Amino acid sequence: MSQYAHPEVLVSADWVEQHLQDPKVRLVEVDVDTNSYKEGHIPGAIAWAWNQQLCDTVQRDILSQTGFEKLMSSSGISPETTVVLYGDSNNWFAAWAFWQAKIYGHKDIRILNGGRKKWLADGRELAVEIPAYPSVAYRAQAPNLALRAFLPQVQGAVQKKSAALVDVRSPQEFSGEILAPPGLPETCQRGGHIPGARNIPWSKACNDDGTFKSADELRALYGAEAIDGKQPVIAYCRIGERSSHTWFVLRYLLGFEQVTNYDGSWTEWGNLVGAQVERGAAPAKPAQS
């Protein structure tokens, strides 16, 4: 069995338990359901709310460099701190935080394999006390935009077929049958997908217990859709958080060098006047090279 390309970005629940008192480690819970933290969380963990603290709340954007610095500083995180992220929905928004931290160059950031789900299922200790850590100075690096795709890059990739597009939404969202995940508000004018995209739902990268599949299984999953690291990859979903999970898998578990997250995603493309849209189920798998 082959190893992940960067196994150092994943930690196990046992590792976390052994580092609960480690002052060099900061645990951060990032949930889809931002109420979960209050029920109980890993002792010593703080919480970041994806919809308030991990985005610009005025214009649609990720955190600015200044905003990221403030978040890290107020969380008691220095550039030398080992940050361990975890969350519900198999680390869906934990990956979103990881992606932004890498854009701003945080050196040692990791994800708890299995996230909140596995921690609960294992029956491990939880706390309700909300810890406070003294602020520390934090200077972020200039944003590494090689990790992020903007609309013109995606349009160019579609036109020139210069990158593989991976739509990580559900098959029903991909086909256009529904305009948002079932039960969530519709946030686009048109359903379907970006022309030429392959559909590999994000959750296929996870086991039932929330942990990531093995490197061999992941390589087979993406390889079956000709996503093998030989050409640049652009991942997208509805608002960019599910695709940050896939970005993490491709970039750090499989080690593909040229992977970007298009966080504008379907809520940008599906609302553009005149943008080409394909509808219908995913075509047959491409021939293997």
Partner 1 sequence: MKPQHYRERQVTSGPWQIHLVSYQLGDLFYCKADNVSPGANIARGSAATQEEAERIVLNKAEERLARTRRQTV
**Binding to partner 1 by residue 223, rule CB under 8 A?**
no
Q: Which of 55, 188, 206, 237 is catalytic?
A: 237
- 105 makes contact with partner 1 (CB under 8 A): no
**In whole angstroms, what is the distance from residue 82 CA to residue 86 CA?**
13
36 binds partner 1 (CB under 8 A): yes
Q: Does 206 qualify as catalytic in the annotation? A: no
For Cα atoms 181, 241, 28, give the angle at the middle one, nearest 5 degrees. Answer: 120
Does 201 bind partner 1 (CB under 8 A)? Our answer is yes
| Shortest reach from residue 123's CB to partner 1, in Å | 5
Task: Return the number of the residue (151 or 281) whose C-beta is nearest partner 1.
Answer: 281
CB within 8 Å of 33: residues ≥ 6 apart = 88
203 binds partner 1 (CB under 8 A): yes
Distance between the two ends of the chain, CA-based, in angstroms?
A: 23
117 binds partner 1 (CB under 8 A): yes
Segment 57-96, which members bind partner 1 (CB under 8 A)?
Answer: 88-90, 92
Applying CB under 8 A, among 91, 100, 113, 175 the residue interacting with partner 1 is 175
183 binds partner 1 (CB under 8 A): yes
What type of residue is 181? Answer: P
Q: Are strands 233-236 and 259-261 parallel, antiparallel or unpaired?
A: parallel
Q: Is 182 in the site for partner 1 (CB under 8 A)?
A: yes
Long-range residue pairs from 202-209, CB within 8 A, at least 24 positions apart, any chain: 202/92, 202/168, 202/169, 202/237, 202/242, 202/243, 202/245, 202/246, 203/90, 205/245, 205/246, 205/249, 205/253, 206/90, 209/114, 209/117, 209/118, 209/121
Chain contacts with partner 1 (rule: CB under 8 A) = 32-33, 35-36, 39-40, 88-90, 92, 117, 120-121, 123-128, 169-173, 175-184, 186, 191, 201-203, 237, 242, 279-281
